[in-house]
Structure 1
């Protein structure tokens, strides 16, 4: 069955509401993410590879902000460690409903449980892998340090946090260059100037992005001993923090 196309911002809006992961977004999310995030497939597959390498027997893997479960399913394909399970968490009922359907259809050998809740309410424990794939940027900035500290405290030694984020650049000129490259990426994927503009307005108040240096400092302060920037394309990046 063909993936529904993202046309959410294709018509002029008198007032653009803040972006929400509601039913309309969940319906077109695979198309939206492919046309909006450069390297998304590479990131998701590598999350699975990293999980396969770092997952430890008798531990738990977390996918925080799981959306439709792409990272969870990728981890399940690669993880061979005995007695591991995956907990996928999202606070969007629409996303969770579709995520559960995807996971049931896939029939993963690694147990995956899907939880509809705010990830701040989740008790992270005995974790060898934690994934936040474009999730932290939607958490209020003042809550990010304490969340990362909680994640670190709930991880086993040698565990990893995989953190993918849209980044800001330290200079105005450099930031504008990266934004323009990203907008051109979206144009080449069929988005109009109206769609690009209205989507940007919708995200302004709900997605607050940081520089890599800010992420590095926060992760180091939380206790992680090494932070590796393993992927970057335009202003999108993914990093691994090792406990």
Structure 2
């Protein structure tokens, strides 16, 4: 099962909401590499965070695991014994391909795949949780409940890594970083038509918020140590420690 080049929006098409269906799953590695600045750096550092935070005989969660990149990164970095990674996604198409990706790469920590809603997963005995570009697809009014659930399931000293596309309260900055993101996509081979059509498909599906909003919500959920550790244009990654 090979991954293909993302040309889903290369031709004019009816404006339908973006969905993680089989067509997206088939091109997802190419799509995210060419669409999300800093994605590779985030994945590489997930391994380093896992090496520091994952404890023996604990659970790690990859919520909204897509094709398992964060799960594999955690597995590569975990140094303690008895740990397990639980990877959850609500798209059967993504999870099927995730299984093939995980089987194709050597990983020393067991990875258990679950088809399900990340908002309904019971988080238990967790030393690390990854929400890698997942929260942005959840209704804003439901995001605090998910973060509170994660906080309750994390052991003391546990880590939540949250990566998101963000917006900015300053319109000049917001417009500039959106334009730079579009330039990044063009430099990676996307046409104006592809950029426009994908943006329309994601409207009302991917709902960004400001970095400040994310940090304040994490603190409201109970996390005392919260910081943005990486930003690339309008994409950020945040660490929150219980």
The aligned counterpart of 1:136 is: 135
Number of aligned residue pairs: give it: 242
* Cα shift at 1:2: 6.8
The superposition leaves residues 97-118 of structure 1 with CA deviations (integer Å, 9 ceiling, x where unpaired) of 0111111222422110011111
**Residue 147 of structure 2: aligned partner:** 148
CA distance in 1, matches of 2:113, 2:99: 7
SS at match of 1:150: helix
- 1:191 — aligned with what? 190
Report the equivalent of 2:56.
Answer: 57
1:153-232 correspondence runs (5 A): 153-232=152-231
- Tell me which residue corresponds to 1:8: 8
Rounded Cα–Cα distance in structure 2 between residues aligned with 1:41 and 1:3 = 17
Residue 44 of structure 1: aligned partner: 43
Aligned-residue offset at 1:54: 0.3
**In structure 2, do the counterparts of structure 1 residues 52 and 12 end up closer, same or farther at CA, with 3 Å as the change threshold?**
same
CA distance in 2: counterparts of 1:98 and 1:112, whole angstroms:
14
Whole-Å separation in 2 of the counterparts to 1:91 and 1:130: 17
1:242 maps to 241
Q: Determine helix, strand or coil for the equivalent of 2:29.
A: helix
Query: With structure 2 as the length reference, what TM-score do the two structures score?
Result: 0.98
**SS at 1:167 equivalent:** strand
1:52 CA drift (Å): 1.2
TM score, norm. by length of structure 1: 0.98
2: CA distance, partners of 1:62 / 1:3:
25
The answer for unaligned runs of 5 or more in structure 2 is: none
Counterpart Cα distance in 2 of 1:168 and 1:153 = 28
Q: Where do residues 19-168 of structure 1 align in structure 2 (5 Å cutoff)?
A: 19-168=18-167
Deviation at 1:57, TM superposition (A): 1.0
Q: In structure 2, what is the Cα distance between the partners aligned to 1:108 and 1:56?
A: 17
Q: CA RMSD in A?
A: 1.0
CA distance in 1, matches of 2:169, 2:29: 31
Inter-partner Cα distance in structure 2 for 1:156 and 1:2:
38
What is the deviation of 1:39?
1.0
Unaligned runs of at least 5 residues, structure 1: none
- Separation (CA, whole Å) in 2 of partners of 1:212 and 1:3: 33
